[in-house]
Amino acid sequence: MTHGTGLLFVLTFLIQAPERTESLMQLAYVWGMVLIIDFLISISYVTWPKKHPQNMAG
């Protein structure tokens, strides 16, 4: 969990008004999706590394 998402969760807990914090939770959801996509892309580079072309000088 990133610091920003943790801060959003703390703020929603402190405010105790779901109707007022709905947009904060939507933002946390979007951040979570971005982190998942970033994680999958990063893991794909580890799992399937880019093949380097052969030395052109021969």
Three-class secondary structure assignment of the chain? CCHHHHHHHHHHHHHCCHHHHHHHHHHHHHHHHHHHHHHHHHHHHHHCCCCCCCCCCC
Arithmetic mean of pLDDT over the chain? 84
pTM beyond 0.85, yes or no: no
Mean pLDDT of 5-24: 86
Mean pLDDT of 13-34: 88
> Mind listing the pLDDT tens digit for each residue in 24-37?
888 888 988 998 99
* CA–CA gap between residue 25 and residue 18 (Å, rounded): 9
Say if residue 57's pLDDT is above 90.
Answer: no
Residues 5, 28 contacting (CB under 8 angstroms): yes
More confident residue, 58 or 33: 33
**Hey, what are 45's tokens?**
């580079």
